[in-house]
């Protein structure tokens, strides 16, 4: 059982993650003002002391506490720490320190700094609970506090003895103020200094500081309190789920894992720290493509050499448990020399990776056909893992670096994949767009789709977006930002059927071309283990729309996305029509919109 302390944006995130388990969990908030849609969550309201939390955990079989409370909910953090239960903390990302900003370790330090600076008027954006903490300052210095426009906040301000005329208000339902709005507030107050808390993007921290700096105001920042080092800290959904899987292994029916690309990038991080700094990392804090950070165990084998064992997920995957090694060496050519040696045929590609060369490694395949986004002859390390690797290298050095990725037993593993069919020979591919393997091919994943759809429906939404993954989500949200999104993985048919059963009146379906060519043929489960791109079917579609040399064009492609480079728009219109026809059998009523998402056409 899991106990979440929420009341924040992070609390909602924790709910979304725990709902995927399809098991009961507890969600605790101090008050009852936050509205959270839950199917499996049990709501608790009211403040809890350390002894209250410990007794509750023991009585209800709590295996793990998720602290998703506000960064400055210090009393709660201390109470949780006293219980000694395993804790996962959802932390907010911190901005880099700014040289013209005064950072304060706590309110006492802030008041001392303010006394030394003596601003004429201070605008406090630290929240209503900070009024009592700053009483010694505002009693003798002109201070304006901005607080939420609600009775509870007014009562707290009055209890602290703060004069009502010194308050300004904002409404929670209107969202965080933008840059111009913040600047207008500061001008209207007439302040020459601003104090705020290090509350992350969710608290509008960056916008507040930027607005004040733009106006030339003095800026004081209360640093977020330090939390116990024994807590597991995560920054998003993927890290939270992995942490819960570790601390409460029986909570989720299936376990997630890391992609080969994430493992390779983590190994590179440990290797570059060894090569450039002589450091021996045991854990690499890896930045994923979506900005989230995950911890990956690593082993430094020698200077510039590190290995990661690909952890096990419950997705059927031939690479489970394999050893992925990164060997880094400083290149002899300078960065300028590397630029001059760039060939015309590979110019754009190599300029992108200038100074970082990917060399052949044992167990990693070699690209022999175009269409994979990697030049023929290069190691089969896909674009996203390459970008992750380069980012880790460039964090420490701008020197030219040779990177060799190898996979123990990769040649044998490759025989159990479809690599040769797409032109990758001699080993496996280093792949992954998100960095995380979410278990797909089983009934439990279909059930998790159903649960997510149930939550969206319970929130009062009668329309939903369905996509296969993160790229599709980004594409749909760029056009319809308010649309609630659910990932169907490969199970588009099951997702549409459940959306129909739940009574959604509108479904927006986003499909990448690789899945669309399978869906158009009638395959409602598009996993590559079950169905591959059928060239004969694509030739048939091309013939139907009058493309006479369709067979010749299609014979030259390796991947479905290459169709964008050889087929006219009428071909894709027909593919979309066929997809719609098959999808309608699963979603027979309501409005169904089909979006063919162009994914890096070549």
Among 178, 97, 164, 104, residue whose Cα is nearest residue 131: 164
Q: What pLDDT is attached to residue 373?
A: 75
Domain residue limits, the chain: 2-92+228-247, 102-222, 257-437, 443-597
Say which CATH class 2-92+228-247 falls into.
alpha beta
Query: Does 335 score more than 50 pLDDT?
Result: no
In this structure, are residues 364 and 406 in contact, taking their beta carbons and an 8 Å threshold?
A: yes
Asked whether the predicted pLDDT for residue 529 surpasses 60, the reply is no
Residue 526 has a pLDDT of 62
In the predicted model, is pLDDT for residue 12 greater than 70?
A: yes
Cα 409 from Cα 362, distance rounded (Å)? 8
Say which range, 81-85, 86-90, 308-312, 420-424, has the weakest mean pLDDT: 420-424
When pLDDT is averaged across residues 587-602 and rounded to a whole number, the result is 81
Q: What is the pLDDT of residues 202-254, one digit of tens each?
A: 788 889 999 999 999 999 999 988 899 899 999 888 899 999 999 999 898 88
Within 13 Å and on the Cβ side, how many CA atoms surround 269?
26
Place of tokens 């370790």: 105
What pLDDT does 342 receive?
40
Query: 257-437 domain in CATH 3.30.2110.10?
Result: yes
What is the arithmetic mean of pLDDT over 469-476?
87
* Mean pLDDT across the chain: 87
State pLDDT tens for residues 274-287.
999 999 999 999 99
Token reading at 349: 């590609």
- Pick the more confident residue, 148 or 459: 148
* pLDDT surpasses 70 at 570: yes
Is the pLDDT at 419 greater than 60? The verdict is yes
As a whole number, mean pLDDT of residues 460-487 equals 89
| pLDDT at residue 344, as a whole number | 38
Q: Which CATH architecture has domain 102-222?
A: 3-Layer(aba) Sandwich (3.40)
Q: Is the pLDDT of residue 528 over 70?
A: no
| CA 62 to chain CA centroid, nearest Å | 27
Mean pLDDT on 16-31: 91
What is the predicted pLDDT for the residue at 320?
75
Q: Do the domains 257-437 and 2-92+228-247 match in fold?
A: no
Share of the chain above pLDDT 70, in %: 91
Element (H, E) at 197: strand 193-197
Lowest mean pLDDT among 189-193, 413-417, 559-563: 413-417
Q: Is the pLDDT at 336 greater than 50, yes or no?
A: no
DSSP state at residue 525: B
Cross-strand pairs, 146: 168
Give the containing element (helix H, strand E) for 335. Answer: helix 335-340
């Amino acid at each position: 059982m899991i106990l979440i302390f929420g009341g924040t944006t992070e609390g909602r995130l924790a709910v979304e993650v725990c709902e995927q388990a399809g098991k009961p969990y507890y969600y605790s908030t101090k008050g009852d003002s936050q509205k959270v849609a839950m199917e499996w969550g049990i709501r608790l309201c009211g403040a809890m002391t350390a002894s209250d939390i410990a007794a509750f955990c023991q009585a209800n079989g709590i295996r793990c506490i998720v602290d998703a409370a506000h960064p400055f909910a210090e009393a709660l953090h201390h109470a949780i720490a006293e219980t000694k239960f395993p804790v996962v903390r959802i932390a907010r990302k911190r901005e880099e320190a700014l040289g013209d900003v005064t950072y304060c370790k706590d309110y006492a330090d802030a008041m001392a700094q303010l006394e030394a600076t003596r601003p004429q008027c201070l605008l406090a954006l630290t929240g209503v609970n900070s009024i009592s903490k700053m009483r010694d300052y505002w009693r003798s210095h002109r201070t304006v506090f901005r607080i939420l426009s609600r009775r509870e906040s007014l009562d707290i301000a009055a209890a602290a003895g703060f004069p009502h005329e010194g308050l300004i208000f904002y409404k929670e339902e209107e969202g965080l103020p933008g840059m111009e709005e913040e600047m207008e507030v500061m001008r209207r107050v007439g302040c020459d200094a601003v104090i705020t808390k290090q509350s992350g993007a969710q608290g509008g921290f960056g916008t507040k500081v930027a607005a004040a700096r733009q106006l030339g105001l003095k800026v004081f920042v209360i640093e977020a309190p330090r939390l116990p080092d024994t807590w597991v800290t995560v920054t998003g959904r993927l890290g939270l789920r992995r942490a819960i899987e570790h601390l409460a292994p029986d909570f989720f029916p299936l376990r997630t894992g890391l992609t080969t690309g994430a493992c390779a990038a983590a190994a590179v991080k440990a290797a570059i720290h060894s090569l450039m700094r002589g450091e021996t990392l045991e854990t690499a804090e890896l930045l994923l493509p979506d900005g989230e950070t995950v911890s990956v165990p690593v082993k430094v084998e020698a200077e510039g050499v590190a290995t990661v064992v690909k952890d096990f997920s419950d997705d059927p995957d031939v690479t489970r448990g394999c050893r992925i090694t990164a060997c880094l060496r400083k290149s002899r050519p300078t960065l300028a020399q590397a630029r001059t040696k760039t060939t015309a045929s590979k110019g754009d590609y190599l300029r992108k990776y200038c100074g970082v060369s990917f060399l052949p490694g044992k167990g990693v395949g070699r690209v022999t056909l175009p269409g994979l986004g990697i030049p023929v002859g290069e190691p089969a390390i896909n674009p996203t893992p390459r970008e992750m690797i380069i980012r880790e290298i460039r964090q420490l050095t701008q020197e030219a670096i040779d990177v060799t990725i190898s996979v123990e037993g990769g040649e044998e593993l490759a025989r159990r994949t479809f690599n040769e069919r797409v032109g990758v020979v001699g080993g496996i591919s280093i792949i992954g767009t998100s960095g995380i393997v979410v278990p797909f091919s089983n009934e439990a994943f279909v059930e998790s789709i159903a649960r997510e759809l149930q939550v969206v429906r319970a929130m009062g939404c009668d329309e939903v977006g369905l996509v296969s993954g993160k790229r599709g989500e980004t594409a749909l949200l760029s056009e319809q930002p308010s649309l609630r999104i659910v990932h169907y993985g490969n199970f588009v048919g099951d997702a549409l059927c459940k959306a129909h059963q739940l009574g959604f009146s509108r479904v927006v379906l986003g499909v990448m071309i690789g899945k669309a060519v399978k869906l158009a043929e009638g395959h409602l489960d598009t996993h590559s283990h079950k169905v591959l791109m059928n060239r004969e079917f694509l030739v048939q579609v091309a013939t139907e729309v009058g493309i006479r040399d369709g067979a010749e064009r299609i014979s030259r492609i390796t991947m479905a996305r290459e169709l964008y480079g050889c087929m006219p728009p009428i071909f894709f219109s027909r593919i979309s029509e066929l997809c719609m026809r098959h999808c309608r059998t699963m979603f027979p009523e309501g409005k169904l919109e089909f979006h063919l998402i162009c994914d890096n056409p070549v």
